[in-house]
């Protein structure tokens, strides 16, 4: 990965780390599936307005409609729904640990479905170091919840698998601007979620949602979805699906740092140790650290 790709990855991790704040507020008031619909619909509208302002004709990319639908299903509809539902029964720590296995599944799926992203010792070692760092970062208290509902844990694992397959599918959009890919996927996800929500939750009761919750929903849709996926697809196009999936190792770090900066939370010794392990894992995956050590 280039320095610019790493910068994009860390920025994406910071943005997605903020999504935990928004989702934590909104899911207490809005049903999970309805929240998914709000998230993708707001993102789709914002992205269409952005393309219109830039003079980009989205309709000229209509030949990718089926791929947009597949990406919207695998990247948004399935994982967002499973993760939000899982949050109702799992602690945030356990969910973050399980979600951080995304790079492992991506490495495995990429090894079978691609010719340019094969399993390497560096990748496996780095990912395992990263997950160890996340377990340390979250602390031993999170481990007490590992005996929680099996169905909730399986939902999170299924979401990570969906992300893995979506990352591979995203590689097929080379030549399509990241903004167009993001717009297509969000539009498709919105069209898929509308009948699901109407059947399962009924017509959303928007009048009962207060301003603070709407602010969280807008943050989730505009910043943590619309802007985030433009960055994500840019990374996929330049660095590959496996490297893009490394963002799940960075997200917990950014979430904790945001809590420290904006909510006055304090960092403990295990937080610094966990961040160090994650940094070591990322350097191992990058390969430059091992190469430098071999030269000595």
- Could you tell me the residue ranges of all domains in the chain? 3-295
Q: CA–CA separation, 255 vs 263, rounded Å?
A: 11
Q: Which residue has the higher pLDDT, 159 or 97?
A: 159
Q: Which residue has the higher pLDDT, 21 or 219?
A: 219
Confidence of residue 250 (pLDDT cuts 50, 70, 90): confident
Confidence of residue 147 (pLDDT cuts 50, 70, 90): very low
- Mean pLDDT confidence for 166-191: 90
Q: CA–CA separation, 36 vs 55, rounded Å?
A: 29
Q: CA–CA separation, 270 vs 284, rounded Å?
A: 21
Confidence of residue 181 (pLDDT cuts 50, 70, 90): very high
Confidence of residue 196 (pLDDT cuts 50, 70, 90): very high
| Residue 141 pLDDT greater than 70, yes or no | no
Confidence of residue 18 (pLDDT cuts 50, 70, 90): confident
DSSP 27: T
pLDDT of residue 242: 74
Could you tell me if 157 and 238 are in contact, meaning their C-beta atoms sit under 8 angstroms apart?
no
- Nearest CA to 43 out of 199, 176, 171, 232 is that of 232
- Tokens 């704040």 locate to 21
| Residue 259 pLDDT greater than 50, yes or no | yes
pLDDT of residue 292: 58
Q: CA–CA separation, 37 vs 191, rounded Å?
A: 9
**pLDDT digit string (tens) for 76-127?**
999 999 988 887 776 655 666 677 777 777 777 877 777 666 667 777 777 7
CA distances from 117 to 47, 107, 127, 167 (A): 30, 8, 15, 12
pLDDT of residue 131: 79
- Mean pLDDT confidence for 33-52: 96
Confidence of residue 38 (pLDDT cuts 50, 70, 90): very high
| Residue 34 pLDDT greater than 50, yes or no | yes
Could you tell me if 185 and 76 are in contact, meaning their C-beta atoms sit under 8 angstroms apart?
yes
pTM of the model: 0.78
Q: Please provide the average confidence, as pLDDT, over all residues in the chain.
A: 82
């Amino acid at each position: 990965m280039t320095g610019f790709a790493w910068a994009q990855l860390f920025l994406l991790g910071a943005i997605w780390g903020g999504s935990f704040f928004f989702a934590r507020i909104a899911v207490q008031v809005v049903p999970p599936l309805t929240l998914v619909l709000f998230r993708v619909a707001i993102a789709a509208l914002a992205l269409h307005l952005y393309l219109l302002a830039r003079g980009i004709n989205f309709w000229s990319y209509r030949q990718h409609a089926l791929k947009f639908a597949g990406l919207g299903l695998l990247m948004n509809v399935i994982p967002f729904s499973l993760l939000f539902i899982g949050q109702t029964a799992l602690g945030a720590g356990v969910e973050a640990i399980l979600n951080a296995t995304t790079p492992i599944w991506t490495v495995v799926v990429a090894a079978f479905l691609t010719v340019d992203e094969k399993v390497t010792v560096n990748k496996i070692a780095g990912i395992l170091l990263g997950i160890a760092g996340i377990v340390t970062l979250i602390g031993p208290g999170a481990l007490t919840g590992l005996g929680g509902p099996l169905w909730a844990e399986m939902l999170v694992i299924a979401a990570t698998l969906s992300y893995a397959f979506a990352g591979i599918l995203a590689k097929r959009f080379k030549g399509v601007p990241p903004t167009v890919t993001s717009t297509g996927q969000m539009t498709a996800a919105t069209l898929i979620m509308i009948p699901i929500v109407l059947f399962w939750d009924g017509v959303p009761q928007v009048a009962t949602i207060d301003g603070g919750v709407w602010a969280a929903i807008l943050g989730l849709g505009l910043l943590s979805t619309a802007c985030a996926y433009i960055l994500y697809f840019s990374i996929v196009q330049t660095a590959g699906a496996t490297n893009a999936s490394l963002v799940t190792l960075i997200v917990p770090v950014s979430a904790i740092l945001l809590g420290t900066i904006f909510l006055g939370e304090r960092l403990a010794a295990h937080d610094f140790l966990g961040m160090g392990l994650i940094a070591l894992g990322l350097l191992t995956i990058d390969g430059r650290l091992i190469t430098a050590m071999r030269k000595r």
